[in-house]
């Protein structure tokens, strides 16, 4: 088992290097580089400052692969992710300052998504073809069909114009005011979670229906167990494997979602950082954030694979 | 011996989009305490549905028990509440299913699954339940039961799983065990061991047994009484001796002819019952066996035969006096 985990952790490294190289080069191929941005925003009248000197100062004059090698080398040898081209601050500090917001948003979205998806999915399955099932399935379709950015925008705009209410966007640290902090995350978390819930709900329902047809469920009924026990102890665990896989697959989508949602609800997370960095072509920040997100996604995938061992005793004993 | 189970005119039907499948169509039989009754017949003749109906385990929809009475210890199981029938399931009446490979939950330990009915019905803790599970696994001849209760079903062979199922059924000392083709999916050698085990254990505990099978060889050895079913009805019933030595229904005769006998001349060919069992959504008018019967007459085509006494408790549903 430990050998397996180690092997999996080692495969993360080449994956990350390849992914970062792609991001690293692509962002440099986008029309309008960081120098254009700087020139357009500041009136650099000084003729002494030429494009060449700026490029040289920022190390952008060398070929991409050399830049990439230097960037990678600094990370590997010194744990140094470089500095922002605009602010001059360390990329690592920028990310660490923003990551908790994104993590909290993602975690709350995932929790809300699962709290919606699992009970409704299970209910839909055990009351197949009843009105409750139809309502549940409609909710699932809505979750899949309504884009989070649209729903987020609607919630920001309409309640404000109708009732003068709008979701709180003032972010207070969790340590100071946990309730106030959660309140801020509740609406964006629900919007994002709702989108995740749709697919997960359908998968839960489908797997539950599949498992409920199995012989061992009939055995459970024949033992005289209550419905609650049959569903929760006998059926649920056996239907969860594909659901967990799906949740793992949704983590990258979740990350993409946070970028948009943070923008709409003005949450100072990594998404907002990333968006600003892309607009300003702040290459080290973009590369750093991508590396970080990649690491998180790969790590979640590893955890998903390891959870199979808990869910399926056959995997555990191999 | 006192009567344990009395089934009267049981009718269970499955409702498809545009047809009604009469899986069990007016079945009546009795079972005394400690007795072994065999339900015999081809696949799809309604044996399993009869068994599932007794515990009200017919999935609804599409299935439904539309008529009849099932008296268990004097109580009509079809008239009591869902809570009351749940108290009987796994407690007074246990079931052993036909597919040991798929009838155990893959994600729970064997010990847990055996202990479960005792926890629910006898109110014991999981810890005590596991101790009992260990004893029960020993009773069904599984080696090192103290270790085996922590195993998962995939670590058991088919025969061992079926033993575990039997152990699960015995846990609450039921009055009746319904075994639905308990040996069908197993090796022949294991089949004999298991049936022997079930016979000994039911005798030891005084448990009645309904043995559902399509293997008449099994019947002769292990059953006291036999009900032969065809197309959702009982076509002949009697003691194992009567059915074997003096079958009176052409279908029973056909079944017996299709069983190989050790003392037979090796050149003798087995005679299968020709044709296919009828589609239960369109059973022909008259005798359901009529299209496959060698003795059929005009009357068989028009009128459905009813059970009539041959002698004592030996009954048959056939217009013809076949011997």
* pLDDT digit string, tens, across residues A74-119: 877 877 777 777 777 877 888 888 888 888 888 899 999 999 999 9
User: What is the rounded distance in angstroms from the CA atom of residue B116 to the CA atom of residue B165?
Assistant: 12
Are the beta carbons of A199 and A115 closer than 8 angstroms? no
CB neighbours (10 Å) of residue B191? 19
Residue A104, both tokens: 């909290």
Contacts of B55 in chain A (CB under 8 A): 222
Using one digit for the tens of pLDDT, what is the confidence trace for A33-84? 777 777 666 665 555 666 677 777 777 777 778 888 888 888 778 777 777 7
Contact B105 A317 (CB under 8 A): no
β partners of residue B13:
B22, B64
What pLDDT score does A12 carry?
84
Using one digit for the tens of pLDDT, what is the confidence trace for A168-204? 667 777 777 777 778 888 888 888 998 888 889 999 9
Residue B282, both tokens: 């369109």
Relative to beta strand B63-72, strand B3-15 is antiparallel
Closest CA to B113 of A223, A178, A116, A49: A223
State the fold for domain B3-104+156-262+270-316: Rossmann fold (3.40.50)
The alpha carbon of B286 is separated from its chain's Cα centroid by a whole number of angstroms, namely: 26
User: What is the rounded distance in angstroms from the CA atom of residue A156 to the CA atom of residue A143?
Assistant: 18
Q: Which residue of B94, B106, B116 is in closest CB contact with A238?
A: B106
Question: Distances in Å between the alpha carbon of B148 and those of B14, B219, B318?
Answer: 40, 32, 51
What pLDDT score does A112 carry?
92
Using one digit for the tens of pLDDT, what is the confidence trace for A9-34? 888 888 888 888 888 888 888 777 77
What pLDDT score does A65 carry?
82
DSSP letter string, A141-168: HHHHHS-HHHHHHHHHHHHHHHHS----
ipTM: 0.86
User: What is the rounded distance in angstroms from the CA atom of residue B216 to the CA atom of residue A79?
Assistant: 77
- The alpha-carbon gap from B280 to the nearest alpha carbon of chain A, in Å, equals 22
pLDDT at A120 over 90: yes
Residue A96, both tokens: 């660490």
What pLDDT score does B219 carry?
77
DSSP 8-state code for residue B177 = E
- The alpha-carbon gap from A244 to the nearest alpha carbon of chain B, in Å, equals 16
List phi, psi (to 5°) of A174.
-60, -35
- The alpha-carbon gap from A210 to the nearest alpha carbon of chain B, in Å, equals 13
Q: Considering only alpha carbons, which residue of chain B is nearest residue A129?
A: B61
Domain locations along chain A: 91-316
pLDDT at A213 over 80: yes
Question: Distances in Å between the alpha carbon of A49 and those of A42, A88, B193?
Answer: 12, 18, 95
Contacts of B185 (CB under 8 A, 6+ apart): B98, B99, B100, B101, B158
Q: How much is the CA Rg of chain A, to the nearest whole Å?
A: 24
Contacts of A257 (CB under 8 A, 6+ apart): A109, A148, A192, A195, A196
User: What is the rounded distance in angstroms from the CA atom of residue A6 to the CA atom of residue B251?
Assistant: 66
Using one digit for the tens of pLDDT, what is the confidence trace for B271-297? 777 777 777 777 777 787 877 877 777
DSSP letter string, B192-246: HHHHHHHHHHHHHHT-EEEEEES-HHHHHHH-SEEEEEETTEEEEEEEHHHHHHS
What pLDDT score does A154 carry?
87
User: What is the rounded distance in angstroms from the CA atom of residue A165 to the CA atom of residue B16?
Assistant: 53
Q: Considering only alpha carbons, which residue of chain B is nearest residue A235?
A: B105
Q: Which residue of A219, A224, A312 is in closest CB contact with B103?
A: A219
* pTM of this structure: 0.80
Contacts of A229 in chain B (CB under 8 A): 120
Interface of B with A in 77-96 (CB under 8 A): 86-91, 94-95
Relative to beta strand B93-96, strand B314-316 is unpaired
Please give the angle made by the CA atoms of B211, B216 and B217, to the nearest 5 degrees: 100
State the fold for domain A91-316: MetI-like fold (1.10.3720)
Q: Is A270 helix (H, G, I), strand (E, B) or coil?
A: helix
User: What is the rounded distance in angstroms from the CA atom of residue A174 to the CA atom of residue A80?
Assistant: 29
Contact B89 A224 (CB under 8 A): yes
B168 touches chain A (CB under 8 A): yes
Q: Which residue has the higher pLDDT, B265 or B82?
A: B82
First to last CA, chain B: 31
What pLDDT score does A201 carry?
92
What pLDDT score does A20 carry?
84
Are the beta carbons of B96 and B180 closer than 8 angstroms? yes
What mean pLDDT is predicted for residues B66-85? 87
CB neighbours (10 Å) of residue A201? 29
What pLDDT score does A318 carry?
56
CB neighbours (10 Å) of residue B78? 16
User: What is the rounded distance in angstroms from the CA atom of residue B264 to the CA atom of residue B210?
Assistant: 30
Closest CA to B201 of B161, B179, B170: B170
Contact A215 B154 (CB under 8 A): no
- The alpha-carbon gap from B279 to the nearest alpha carbon of chain A, in Å, equals 24
What pLDDT score does A43 carry?
61
Q: Considering only alpha carbons, which residue of chain A is nearest residue B102?
A: A215
Sorting pLDDT into bands at 50, 70 and 90, what band is A208? very high
B175 touches chain A (CB under 8 A): no
Contact A215 B103 (CB under 8 A): yes
Contact A222 B120 (CB under 8 A): no
Q: Is B65 helix (H, G, I), strand (E, B) or coil?
A: strand
- Which helix (H) or strand (E) segment holds residue A170: the answer is none
Q: Considering only alpha carbons, which residue of chain B is nearest residue A311?
A: B107
What mean pLDDT is predicted for residues B129-136? 89
Report the percent of chain B where pLDDT is more than 70. 99
Residue A192 burial (C-beta neighbours within 10 Å; 0-12, 13-18, 19+): buried
Exposure class string for A264-299: b at 16+ Cβ within 10 A, else e = bbebebbbbbbeebbebbbbbbbbbbbbbbbebbbe
Q: Following CA atoms B316, B319, B321, B323 in sequence, which dihedral angle do they give, to the nearest 10 degrees?
A: -50
Are the beta carbons of B52 and B65 closer than 8 angstroms? no
Contacts of B88 in chain A (CB under 8 A): 224
What pLDDT score does B277 carry?
77
Q: Considering only alpha carbons, which residue of chain A is nearest residue B116?
A: A223
B154 touches chain A (CB under 8 A): yes
pLDDT at B318 over 80: no
Using one digit for the tens of pLDDT, what is the confidence trace for A127-176? 888 898 999 899 899 988 988 888 888 888 888 788 877 776 677 777 77
User: What is the rounded distance in angstroms from the CA atom of residue B90 to the CA atom of residue A225?
Assistant: 9
Instruction: Examine residue B192 and say whether the peptide bond preceding it is cis (omega within 30 degrees of 0).
Output: no
List phi, psi (to 5°) of B40.
-120, 145
Using one digit for the tens of pLDDT, what is the confidence trace for B197-224? 888 888 888 889 998 888 777 777 788 8
Contact A222 B97 (CB under 8 A): yes
What pLDDT score does A48 carry?
60
In a mutational test of the B interface, the residue from A126, A133, A223 whose CB has the highest number of chain B CBs within 10 Å is A223
Contacts of A312 in chain B (CB under 8 A): 106-107
What pLDDT score does A47 carry?
54
């Amino acid at each position: 088992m430990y050998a397996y985990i180690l092997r999996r952790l080692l495969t993360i490294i080449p994956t990350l290097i390849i992914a970062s190289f792609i991001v690293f080069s692509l962002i440099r191929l986008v029309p309008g580089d960081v120098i254009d941005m700087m020139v357009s925003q500041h009136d650099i009248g000084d003729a002494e400052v030429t494009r060449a000197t700026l490029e040289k100062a920022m190390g952008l004059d060398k070929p991409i692969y050399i830049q990439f090698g230097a960037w990678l080398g600094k990370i590997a040898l010194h744990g140094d992710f470089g500095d922002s081209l605009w602010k001059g601050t360390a990329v690592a500090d920028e990310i660490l300052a923003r990551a908790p917001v994104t993590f909290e948003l993602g975690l709350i979205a995932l929790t809300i998504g699962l709290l919606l998806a699992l009970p409704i999915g299970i209910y839909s399955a055990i009351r197949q073809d009843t009105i409750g099932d139809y309502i549940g399935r409609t909710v699932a379709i809505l979750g899949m069909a309504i884009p989070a950015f649209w729903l987020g925008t609607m919630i920001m705009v309409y309640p404000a114009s109708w009732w003068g209410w709008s979701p709180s966007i003032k972010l207070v640290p969790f340590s100071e005011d946990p309730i106030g902090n959660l309140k801020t995350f509740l609406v964006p978390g629900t919007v994002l979670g709702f989108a995740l819930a749709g697919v997960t709900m359908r998968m839960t329902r489908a797997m539950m229906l599949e498992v409920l047809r199995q012989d061992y469920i009939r055995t459970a009924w024949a033992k005289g167990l209550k419905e609650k026990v049959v569903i929760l102890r006998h059926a649920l665990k056996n239907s969860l494997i594909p659901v967990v896989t799906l949740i793992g697959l949704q983590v990258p989508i979740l990350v993409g979602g946070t970028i948009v949602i943070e923008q709409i609800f003005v949450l100072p997370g990594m998404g907002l950082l990333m968006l600003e960095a892309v607009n300003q072509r702040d290459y080290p920040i973009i590369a750093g954030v991508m590396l970080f997100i990649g690491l998180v996604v790969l790590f979640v995938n590893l955890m998903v694979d390891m959870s199979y061992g808990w869910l399926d005793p056959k995997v555990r004993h191999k | 011996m006192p009567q344990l189970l009395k089934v009267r005119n049981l009718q269970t039907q499955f409702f498809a989009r545009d047809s009604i499948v009469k899986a069990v169509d007016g079945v009546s039989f009795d079972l005394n305490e400690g007795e072994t009754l065999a339900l015999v017949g081809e696949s799809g003749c309604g044996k399993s549905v009869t068994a599932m109906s007794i515990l009200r385990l017919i999935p609804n929809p599409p299935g439904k028990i539309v008529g009849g009475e099932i008296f268990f210890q004097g109580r009509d199981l079809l008239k009591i509440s869902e809570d009351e029938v749940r108290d009987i399931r796994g407690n007074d009446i246990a079931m052993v299913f036909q597919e040991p490979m798929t009838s155990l939950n893959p994600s729970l330990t064997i010990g847990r699954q055996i202990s479960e009915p005792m926890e629910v019905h006898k109110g014991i803790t999981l810890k005590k339940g596991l101790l009992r599970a260990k004893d029960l696994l020993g009773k069904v001849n599984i080696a090192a039961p103290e270790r085996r209760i922590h195993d998962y079903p995939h670590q058991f062979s088919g025969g061992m799983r079926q033993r575990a199922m039997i152990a699960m059924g015995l846990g609450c000392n039921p009055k009746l065990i319904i075994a639905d083709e308990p040996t069908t999916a197993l090796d022949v050698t294991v089949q004999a061991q298991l049936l022997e085990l079930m016979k000994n254990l039911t005798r030891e505990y005084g448990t009645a047994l309904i043995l559902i099978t399509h293997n008449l060889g099994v019947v002769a050895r292990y059953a006291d009484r036999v009900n032969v079913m065809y197309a959702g009805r009982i076509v002949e019933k009697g003691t194992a001796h009567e059915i074997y030595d003096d079958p009176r229904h052409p279908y029973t005769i056909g079944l017996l002819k299709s069983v190989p006998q050790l003392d037979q001349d090796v050149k003798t060919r087995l005679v299968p019952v020709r044709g296919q069992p009828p589609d239960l959504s369109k059973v022909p008018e008259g005798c359901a066996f009529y299209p496959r019967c060698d003795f059929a007459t005009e009357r068989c085509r028009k009128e459905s035969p009813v059970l009539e006494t041959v002698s004592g408790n030996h009954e048959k549903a056939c217009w013809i006096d076949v011997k």
